[in-house]
Structure 1
Amino acid sequence: MRENPLTLQVIWVKRAMKNAWHSILRNKILSLATILIIALMLFVFNLVLAMRYASDSVIANVGEKLDISVEIQSGVENYSIQVFVKTMKEHINVKEVVYISKGEAMAKFGSKYPNVISFLDHYNLENPLPDTVRIITTDVADNNLVIEFLERPQFAGIVNQEKLMKNVEQKDRNAKILGITRSIQRLSWWLIVIFAAVGLMIIFNSININIHNHEKEINVMKLVGAKYNFIRSGFLFEGVGFAISALVISLIFSRLILAYLARNLAGVISNETLMAGMNSILLHFEDNFWVTFGWQLLAVIAAGLLSSYLAIELYLRKHHAF
């Protein structure tokens, strides 16, 4: 009676996994060293990701404080101001527009410095504060675009262009922030590529050593008619086993470190911006743990399969197995 092809496939996979497990156990020191080195690399990789999340959060936090304050020229009618506010709200790069009349500005100022209000009233002096429009962009990168938009001739009769020129300094600050952001992003991508390449090399070398340690067994399997796919499969599962074990260790260690930081740094960091960066790291890995685990699991499985496949393929070709 012929067995079901699916049953044969399951038996084939079980034997391949058993061979991989025995191979890992026979070379305990090499296997442990490989797993720990890859786990350390994955931990550093997660630190790089954490730095990137923190930098993005810090820059977003700083960007919210770098709003654009536009001073309205004296004598401009309220209707013209409202049209200007409406125009800015419709701008694609603007997130929020807040109009503060000179009366509102003086009321806020007077609540802090009542003596000034008394002085102005005593001498019948006019309100010296101008009408202002506070503009918050969707991103720090958009600040310069909005400032350039405000410099157009159509706003010359509404916006105090002399005061607007002071925003040139803000342009420089925006450019520096964007430069730092791009540098961090480029550095993080390079580190990811380097870690991925080194990880592949480590798994490749470990599998390559194991293949040569099992050279006699491979020759016996070839003599008794074992298919090359079966010979490959054991080492493929071994590479995947290295990668998954390392990932689990690195994520456990990462969560322990984050839990320690959450308990001990909250009372130490007083800077609001730095605290926002720390919170972004903690919240990201807490709220997106399974998403992070999922894509990293797929990535390490792919890396384990690729490096193991290259190692066994190189061995079989060198020994004229084809």
Structure 2
Amino acid sequence: MIRLFSLCILITLLATAPTQAQFWFLGQNAKNASPKNPFKAHSSFSFGAGSSTYLGDISPAMTLMDVGGKALRWNAGVQYTRHFKKHVSIQGSFTYIRIAGDDNYFDPAGRFEPSYGRNLHFRTDMQELSLIGIYEILGNEENLPKRRTLSPYVYVGLSGLYFNPQARKPVTDLDANGNPIQKPFEDWQTYKNEGVEYSKITGAIPFGFGIRYKLNHSFDIGFDFGYRISFSDYLDDVTDNRYDFVQSRLANFQPLPPFALRNSEQYAANTLADRRPYLLQVAQGNTSGNPPLIAKGSDQYFTTQIRLIYHLKNKIDCPPLPR
């Protein structure tokens, strides 16, 4: 009886084993065949505003701690970002940027006295179109409500710039109280202060980093820091050739452009500071006599922005209806 029972169990096991193996392989095949869900691309719009700082021949990098705060200006822009991979996004943006610099921001008795004596200044408004590639360090989430609370990123790209440097003509009149009357800003390129007529269109290489903070399902607030290396040395209408250009013209008794040399003006055209005490020191030989500081290479600038970011919702993918 026991032998018969054992024989029945053995036959049952042998009969069911191929069937179980068949279903196991079917399960494995089905598992391997199921495709991995692809990342669903999505988009976002943002608006930002913040500060802009110029670095160039009027404010070289070494002077940033001395006059960086005085030269601080503003920027504002809009951005469209396509998050098409988990770690990679592409962004197009338009930014309006103002930069400025003034030799009269320096201390006439300080270490940058030669720059103060040069007495140049400028203001430039730039329109910047940029296309940049963004690397999302922690990655994007496919489901927008499940995106990370903090999302840091780095980026690099290419920008096109239209710029138009401006400055003020020298003070020539005083009001009834003896105060200098300031002239308005004028376009400065037409004066050819270094004997050349440069283009107002150039490019730049933007790079930087940022971070987004999730506010709710659709909105983030972000911070962005961007540095730009332009392809032009004329964003400020001044290049590192200005000093040599002026000295060469004077040595050869050649006429100078109207505003290439402004070190003898009694009032600073932009700040209206009284420069007569300094000019008296120059006449007495109590200044260093050194050439002003310059920045070799093209002009640069950096920006900061606080951004409000809106994430567009993806279309819901519905399965096809049965036929």
Q: Give the alignment's TM-score, normalised by structure 2.
A: 0.23
Q: Give the alignment's TM-score, normalised by structure 1.
A: 0.23
- The structure carrying a bigger helix percent of its residues is 1
Structure with more relative contact order (C-alpha pairs < 8 Å, separation 6 or more) = 1
